[in-house]
Amino acid sequence: MARTIDSVPAARFPLSGHVQNVADNLQLVADLGYGDVALAVPEGRTLRVVADARPVTAVSAIGTSRVGRVLDESAEREAYEALRTGAPSCGTRRRTARGIAYATAAYPIRSDGALVGVLVRNLAEQVTESPGAMEVAFMGLAERVIRLLSEGPILDVDTGAPFATVRRAGDGIMEIDGSGVVAYASPNAVNIMRLAGSDSAVTGRAATELPGGATAIAPVVHSRGGRAVVIEVAGRVLNYRAIGFDPGALVLVEDITDVRRREQEIRVKEATIREVHHRVKNNLQTVASLLRIQARRASSGEAKRALTEAVDRVASMAVVHEMLAAATEEAVDFTAVARTVVDMVVRGMAAEATARARVEGETGLVPAATATSLALVLAELVHNAIEHGLRAEAGEVTVTLSRTADTLVLSVRDTGPGLPEGFDPGASGNLGLAIVRTVVEEDLRGSLGFSGTRGTTVTVRVPMTAEGGRR
């Protein structure tokens, strides 16, 4: 069953710090209390729901969110009685919804002496008729959390900031009594403590004797507030969240050893990948430098041009790997790549033509493999636009980028005289165009189009998945 917690935007229902803190802890109350809960605030003589939660531990009598609704007084007598009297109202009448019989209790929420809200709690008969030890302990803890919230916000005992937490799958739950002894420990809590090196029984032991207990639990037992701390003990990593009742405490503990190990493995892999990209970039730059040296020594103008074009091709791929080396994921903002590649090509051809170039539009993040291929295509198209489209004369090249859910579009337009009559890109002997066609159609699985009589426009369309990769 999916956890659900709903609250309304602050712009619709601005909540005070205390009321917001109650809203933030509703899911914990719902899960521990085996019933749906709602938080309503007074509007004149009515109550409007500003947040609610349904439990993952039981079937909820209220199947959908009531956020934004005004509670009907005839149906929610307990809530309106708590509003009028300022005291808890625990209803005895039984109601049925979705085939579930339940009773309702309501608790006034006070802030600086003023009544600022009412917490409404529904509890199914199937839970209350024959509860086991765990249900009794959990419902008692839910009641204590509600009582705590009704008196004021739960604050972090270390920082003084509002404190909120939820019950996570796999959490162990413990109740600590006023003397600092474990009064109840759920089976998950017992198992977590055993894995962390606790050989003896958990119930009946002082909280300070539990693995990490002296640090995570002891500070809240005689305090009114919460505390969250991650502790490494006996080779295990434990995530403690505790709420102190002054005296006593609710303790939630999660063993996150495997999660931490996976996170560490991911960090190592990411660092390794970034290092690989860095080395690939260095190698490509070295190749580009060698080609540049060779081009300077070439005696033939045709050979010099061919080597210079090769430099641009290699350098365009190096740009992508340079950005990937600094990125935290295997994707780059291709708009930034395009600007760098276009500037590099224009500067490289400055001796042959006076051309201006600009990049328009946005693509967002593009996977590394797609970005590398597109960078090579873009370098070729801009180079061709300057050399053949503008015919080495003054002019402008515009690169336009756009992105939809399933397609990335790249177009390169020049202000030259346009395509010659009868131009057939497939029959062209231009090496650059041959490279572009191969990369676009075979690698990117995209399409390539040419148009224009006054200036030439080359358009590349690449299919993309919803996740951003190539289809």
Write the pLDDT tens digit of every residue in 230-248. Answer: 999 988 999 999 999 999 9
Q: Is residue 34 helix, strand or coil?
A: coil
Q: Is the pLDDT of residue 450 over 70?
A: yes
pLDDT at position 471: 55
367 in Cβ contact with 329 (< 8 Å):
no
The pLDDT of 429-448, averaged and rounded, is: 83
Nearest-angstrom CA–CA distance, 11 and 17: 15
What are the angstrom distances between the C-alpha of 131 and each of 174, 251, 424?
17, 21, 81
- Does the pLDDT of residue 385 top 70, yes or no? yes
Cβ-contact 349, 383 below 8 angstroms = yes
Which H or E element spans position 263? helix 257-297
pLDDT at 428: 57
pLDDT, residue 18, reads: 93
List the chain domain ranges: 4-131, 172-255, 260-463
- C-alpha span between 39 and 121 (Å, rounded): 9
Q: Which of 257, 409, 380, 224 is nearest to 310 (CA)?
A: 380
C-alpha span between 424 and 7 (Å, rounded): 61
What the block records as the tokens of 378 is: 């873009």
423 pLDDT more than 80: no
**CATH class belonging to 172-255:** alpha beta
Q: Minimum mean pLDDT among 191-195, 283-287, 372-376, 411-415: which range?
A: 283-287
Instruction: Record the pTM.
Output: 0.62
Distance between CA atoms of residues 10 and 15, nearest Å: 7
* pLDDT on residue 422: 64
For the chain, how many residues are written? 471
Q: Which CATH class is domain 260-463?
A: alpha beta
Q: Does 172-255 match 4-131 at the fold level?
A: yes
Number of H helices, E strands in the chain: 13, 19
| Domain 4-131 CATH class label | alpha beta
Give pLDDT, residue 2: 36
The secondary structure element, H or E, covering residue 143 is helix 133-151
- From residue 80, alpha-carbon distances to 8, 108, 412, 444 in Å are 21, 10, 68, 64
- Cα separation, 109 vs 40, in Å, equals 10
Which of 49-53, 66-70, 305-309 bottoms out in mean pLDDT, i.e. has the lowest?
305-309
Q: How far apart are CA 298 and CA 282, in angstroms?
A: 24
Looking at residue 177, what is its pLDDT? 95
Distance CA 341, CA 357 (A): 11
pLDDT at 7 over 50: no
